């Protein structure tokens, strides 16, 4: 892992934003978060009370699943973010879930009409054991308070899972013995995994990679070119390969992931002659998964570049493997 790489953490202004019913305007002075349901000690915390609890820092990749109506369409919206907040486990310990509790519901402030359903709130759920182990209640992002578009004042962050599970503008946490029957839980954001006919909630991310250098449809000078990008998965990525045109897959140099669920940088240098070139990348993770071909949301990415016999006017032959 090269955490000192200036592109390792995505600047806040370049992190993708997604909403279902718009960005709510939340008054921090009146906002509160409740923990209720099957608990012995229901909680209500204002922002000051949450900030007073011991904080945890987490650096993790954050990936958008894409449209729930097109679950197999590649989106490639991903960032690597530094979060600050309170582990949900701390609040659950204080609330003391009942013995029959098995699920956590996250409810956001945002509500409105979506897919023909009026006045619906954004709601997601997770198994209780996952909530205890992984969830961070984040109030800061990349060293600054959350911006409204990213979930101010508090959002859930669920590492290794698609962003749809990291509920923004969080207002209510319900401990339950069942999953909620809701638009965003049982009707949308479900998919069939390869080899299975059973619909499953969109949760754990797929193995994936993205080329960020050279740029798509870029014009480059002939010579040695460094190709590079980022790879990520629910577990560590152990190999990334790059193929140029119809050539063989070649192993790229891959940074180790380290103890946190971050993305991993990969690079490969190769000499390019003038002409139009097709570049592809694919990642392998420790679970034995490999990025598939066309037809899947994490299908192998392909870009096309044009190589000239000399540097195009006003440009440099050097490429930058920074975030898109």
Instruction: Find out whether 301 and 100 touch, Cβ atoms under 8 Å.
Output: no
Q: Which residues contact 273 (CB under 8 A, 6 or more apart)?
A: 222, 307
Instruction: Find out whether 293 and 299 touch, Cβ atoms under 8 Å.
Output: yes
Beta-bridge mates of residue 312? none
In terms of phi and psi (left: phi > 0; alpha: psi -120 to 50; beta: otherwise), the region of 66 is left
Name the nearest CA neighbour of 218 among 279, 283, 301, 264: 279
Integer Cα distance of 240 and 207 in angstroms: 11
Query: How much is the pLDDT for 193?
Result: 79
Integer Cα distance of 267 and 322 in angstroms: 12
Beta-bridge mates of residue 293? none
Instruction: Find out whether 224 and 214 touch, Cβ atoms under 8 Å.
Output: no
Query: How much is the pLDDT for 104?
Result: 98
pLDDT below 70 — which residues of the chain?
1-4, 6, 311-324
User: What is the per-residue pLDDT across 198-230, written as a single tens digit (0 to 9) for each?
Assistant: 899 999 999 999 999 998 877 899 999 999 999
Name the nearest CA neighbour of 252 among 299, 275, 284, 222: 284
């Amino acid at each position: 892992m090269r955490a000192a790489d200036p592109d390792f953490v995505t600047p806040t202004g370049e992190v993708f934003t997604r909403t279902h019913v718009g960005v709510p305007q939340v008054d921090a002075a009146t906002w509160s978060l409740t923990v209720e349901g099957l608990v012995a000690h229901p909680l209500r915390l204002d922002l000051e009370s949450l900030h007073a609890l011991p904080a945890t820092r987490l650096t993790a990749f954050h990936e958008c699943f894409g449209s729930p109506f097109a679950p197999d369409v590649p989106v490639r919206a991903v960032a690597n973010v530094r979060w600050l907040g309170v582990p949900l486990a701390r609040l659950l310990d204080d609330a003391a879930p009942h013995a029959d509790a098995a699920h956590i519901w996250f409810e956001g402030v945002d509500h409105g009409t979506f897919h023909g359903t009026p006045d619906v709130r954004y709601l997601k759920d997770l198994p209780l054991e996952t909530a205890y182990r992984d969830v961070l209640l984040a109030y800061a992002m990349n060293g600054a308070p959350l911006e409204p578009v990213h979930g101010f004042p508090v959002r859930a962050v669920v590492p290794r899972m698609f962003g749809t599970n990291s509920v923004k503008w969080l207002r209510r946490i319900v401990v339950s013995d069942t999953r909620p029957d809701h638009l965003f839980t049982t009707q949308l954001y479900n998919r069939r995994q390869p080899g299975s006919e059973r619909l499953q909630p969109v949760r754990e991310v797929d193995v994936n990679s993205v080329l960020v250098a050279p740029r798509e449809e870029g014009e480059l000078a002939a010579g040695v070119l460094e190709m590079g990008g980022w790879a990520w998965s629910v577990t560590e990525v152990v190999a990334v390969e790059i193929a140029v045109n119809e050539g063989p897959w070649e192993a790229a140099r891959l940074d180790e992931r380290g103890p946190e669920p971050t993305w991993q940088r990969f690079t490969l240098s190769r000499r390019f002659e003038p002409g139009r070139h097709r570049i592809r990348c694919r990642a392998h993770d420790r679970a034995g998964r490999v990025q598939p071909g066309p037809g899947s949301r994490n299908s192998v990415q392909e870009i096309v570049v044009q190589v000239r016999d000399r540097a195009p006017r006003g440009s440099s032959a050097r490429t930058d493997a920074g975030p898109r």
